[in-house]
Amino acid sequence: MNTKLNPISMKRENKKLILRYLIEKGQSSRMEIVRETKLAQSAIWRIMGELTSEGLVEERGVTTGKRRKPVIYGPTRSFITSVIYNVEVLETLVAVGFLDGSWRLIERFPTPTDFESFRERVKMSFEKIVANRSVREDITKVVFSLPGMVNYERKFLIYAPNLKWKNIDFQRAFEDLKMEVFVENDANLSLLAEQFFSKDMKKSKVAFFLYFGEGIGGAISVDGNIVRGKNSAAGEIGHVILDGDNSEIERLLSVSGLINKVQSWVGTGENTIGEKFQQLKRLWFLGQKDVKEILEDYLHHVAIVLRNIVYFLNPDVIVLGGLINDIYETFGPYIRRELETITEKEILAGVVIRDSIFKEVPPSLVGGNVLVIEHFLKTL
């Protein structure tokens, strides 16, 4: 058996290693890369030269200090890696992503109720973006984050019940964009974003993302890989029934459903779900009796769902997030008390439960850009 390493393959893997390190770290000098990757200095110098000439890495300046100042390098921002459409029932956020993992929100628009109107709205948006941004035909992709069951390999939406969209081939529907299209479930993308940027996720063997939106979704990761299942339904915890026909988890944990129950207190204005949730929090802290009862019932069901996740998967990490990214930060002590009364202490030991690290935007939007970066690194 020939155990010799192919020099070309070895160089490609080293190139991926260096570029991934720079994307995750942000920026570094060549000597820092030598120390972190343990690769030979000559290999680092050569590969950094290639990455720079290929327009993937750029000089960011020099280090400070009295001695000779090494040059600092980072992933380039000279082109966009992704155009992201983060689709929710009420609103679609549009963003562009860059090779350094960063993103920029471009616009938002009400999500049309019919798919054809949505398609036309996306085309208008996309034309404006590519007219004003540099793209790389070999790298840049269009990503749709969707609240439903998606066949990622086929770029196919199976069913998004809250949108009432079904059986849609996104690559064909958006072939006029003349760019490769990626389609993924919003919870899967959120989990992908956390894995890319969070240390505890990188170390975890099993992880779960509980996605709070107009509905409720979930995503599973085992050994760093998203588990999609035979029919792309793995992690779809919203459709699990707790007790009887009217106790589907999506009905119990939908943030929209919660807001509707307290509508007379938070108002029916044009505010987003996130803004209404902040009003709900203020009423909770003020001790508004009716709101408190409704919210505590909701949090009790959150604890029940977390218990089921813990017993079923026994994950290292459970992350809560989506349209609302501070549920555990605000209500963690209450949820934890509820959880500990219905769960064996030994089963909960060591399980990390926390909010998403992304606060200003849905984590699925960040995950859309991560999806493209990961694809590029695999095919580099």
pLDDT digits (tens, 9 = 90+) for 66-94: 566 689 999 999 999 999 999 999 999 99
In the chain, CATH 3.30.420.40 sits at: 82-190+363-379, 199-355
Supply the CATH classification number for the domain 7-75: 1.10.10.10
Predicted local distance difference test score (pLDDT) of residue 1: 45
pLDDT digits (tens, 9 = 90+) for 174-227: 999 999 999 999 999 999 999 999 999 999 999 999 999 888 999 999 999 999
Predicted local distance difference test score (pLDDT) of residue 353: 98
Mean pLDDT estimate for the chain: 92
CATH topology assigned to domain 199-355: Nucleotidyltransferase; domain 5 (3.30.420)
Predicted local distance difference test score (pLDDT) of residue 8: 75
- Is the pLDDT at 267 greater than 80? The verdict is no
> Candidates 3.40.50.800, 3.40.50.1460, 3.30.420.40, 3.40.920.10; correct CATH number of 82-190+363-379?
3.30.420.40
Across the range 35-62, mean pLDDT stands at: 93
Across the range 49-69, mean pLDDT stands at: 82
Share of the chain above pLDDT 70, in %: 96
Predicted local distance difference test score (pLDDT) of residue 242: 87
Predicted local distance difference test score (pLDDT) of residue 365: 97
Share of the chain above pLDDT 90, in %: 79
- Is the pLDDT at 345 greater than 90? The verdict is yes
Predicted local distance difference test score (pLDDT) of residue 68: 62
- Helices 7-25, 41-53: inter-axial angle, 10-degree rounding: 70
pLDDT bracket for residue 266 (50, 70, 90): confident
The answer to whether 176 and 123 are in contact (CB under 8 A) is yes
Predicted local distance difference test score (pLDDT) of residue 273: 84
The structure's pTM equals 0.93
Predicted local distance difference test score (pLDDT) of residue 67: 62
